[in-house]
Amino acid sequence: MQLQLATQHNIEYYGEIGMGTPAQRFKVLFDTGSANTWLPSSSCPTTDIACQRHKQYNSQQSSSYVANGSKFSLAYGAGMVSGYLSQDTLHLAGAQLSGLTFGEITQHHQTIFESMSFDGIVGLAFAAIAWHETTPFLELLCQQRKIQQCLFSVYLRQQPVAAQAAGELLFGGVNSARYKGELHYVPVSGEGYWQIQLSGVAVRGKLIDNNVAAIVDTGTSLILLPQRVLGSLYAALGARMLGDIYSLSCKLEELPAVAMHLGNFTLTLTPADYVVEIEGLCISIFVPFNYDFWVLGDVFLRRYYTVYDAEGSGRMGFAEAV
Ligand SMILES: *[C@@H]1O[C@H](CO)[C@@H](O)[C@H](O)[C@H]1NC(C)=O
Ligand SMILES: *[C@@H]1O[C@H](CO)[C@@H](O)[C@H](O)[C@H]1NC(C)=O
């Protein structure tokens, strides 16, 4: 079951689903960093601009709609949304997933949602971080045996500004044409998230972080890291302070790779992956935040093909994307 992903500015990647009977079409972000699914609701007020600018789900036009009405709110890095729960059939690449509990959004609390290209989100993580007593998308897909193996794979590309073909999401399989070498598998290390344990992160052989968790997140554009690591990372990259910005050399060949170790296997980000040039200034895509784990976002996923295997206790596979 394969879906094509489109992008805007390589910041967001999204694909198409249908909801209800007959299917109402939506663009959604398939988010490995969360487990709930939501769409803008036709019952949102006219004052909610993000809602007005996107496609809205209308339960009255769906014969498979089942009311619930429990209220919820969800917090993301970018902001908060709230609404109420409903249940309906989700259509995806020709398959039908019945009885999915999802959120109808009646309020987007931050204006950032107004400018997003996608209408809603389909969370691909586990029940432990989903709404209480709901079965999230991936688990429902596997329960209803829509795919033979309970896994999916992600392939993302860098594209000029906007592109319809910027990636591929494959449910139930792995596309060996999208990577080179072998897939290296490691166990999922935390409950709820697609989380792995990095044995170390090093620059030119110097450890800058040690035995730390990392979440692989299609819903994050950049790479987030614990605030405590930033000083040693920037020192190792030779960053200089310019006002309140850390700038790096624009001579990429002089910059080191950042190596993330998974036991005997290493994931490497090269300067071409982690440096962006903005108005003549070269800055890195490493962004500090106040948590004690790393978040490997789209920058990482453009370099590595990833497999999310939910069979048994779960594992993740990595190979260099082509
Ligand atoms: C709404 O869904 C939640 C989560 O599945 C469930 O616990 C609750 O009983 C449902 N409420 C109604 C009114 O169906
Ligand atoms: C690397 O480690 C994994 C798991 O610990 C093991 O299965 C694999 O054989 C090792 N590979 C090499 C080349 O040592």
Best CA proximity match to 322, nearest among 153, 217, 177: 177
Q: Residue 7 pLDDT > 80, yes or no?
A: yes
- Residue whose CA is at the smallest distance from ligand 1 atom 14: 68
- Residue whose CA is at the smallest distance from ligand 2 atom 11: 264
Integer Cα distance of 148 and 159 in angstroms = 32
In the prediction, which pLDDT does 102 show?
98
- Report whether 172 contacts 153 (CB < 8 A): no
Residues 222, 245, 228, CA angle at the centre, nearest 5°? 65
In the prediction, which pLDDT does 273 show?
94
Integer Cα distance of 143 and 147 in angstroms = 9
Integer Cα distance of 154 and 297 in angstroms = 12
Identify the CATH homologous superfamily for domain 2-170: Acid Proteases (2.40.70.10)
Pocket test for ligand 1, best of 38, 133, 137, 139 (most atoms within 8 A of CB): 133
Q: Residue 263 pLDDT > 90, yes or no?
A: no
User: How many angstroms separate the Cα of 245 from the Cα of each of 200, 231, 239?
Assistant: 26, 13, 9
- Report whether 106 contacts 81 (CB < 8 A): no
Per-residue confidence band for 224, with pLDDT thresholds at 50, 70 and 90: very high
Ligand found nearest the CA of 185: 2
* pTM exceeds 0.85 for this model: yes
Tens-digit pLDDT profile for residues 268-286: 999 999 999 988 899 999 9
- Residue whose CA is at the smallest distance from ligand 1 atom 11: 68
Tens-digit pLDDT profile for residues 23-44: 999 999 999 999 999 999 999 9
Residue type, 45: P
Integer Cα distance of 44 and 118 in angstroms = 17
Integer Cα distance of 104 and 127 in angstroms = 19
Q: 85 CB under 6 A from ligand 1?
A: yes
Residues with catalytic roles: 31, 217
Give the position, in ligand 2's atom list, of the atom nearest the Cα of 265: 1
CATH architecture of structural domain 175-321: Beta Barrel (2.40)
Domain with CATH 2.40.70.10 in the chain: 2-170, 175-321
Integer Cα distance of 173 and 224 in angstroms = 28
Going from the Cα of 321 to the center of ligand 1, the distance in angstroms, rounded, reads 41
DSSP H or E stretch at residue 86: strand 79-92
Give the position, in ligand 2's atom list, of the atom nearest the Cα of 186: 4
286: β partners: 223
Residue that the structure tokens 């554009």 belong to? 221
Integer Cα distance of 26 and 88 in angstroms = 14
Ligand found nearest the CA of 87: 1
DSSP-derived letter for residue 57 is B
Give the position, in ligand 1's atom list, of the atom nearest the Cα of 101: 5
Best CA proximity match to 33, nearest among 224, 206, 183: 224
Tens-digit pLDDT profile for residues 38-74: 999 999 999 999 999 999 999 999 999 999 999 999 9
In the prediction, which pLDDT does 110 show?
85
HSE-CB of 281 using CA atoms within 13 angstroms? 14
Q: 263 CB under 6 A from ligand 2?
A: yes
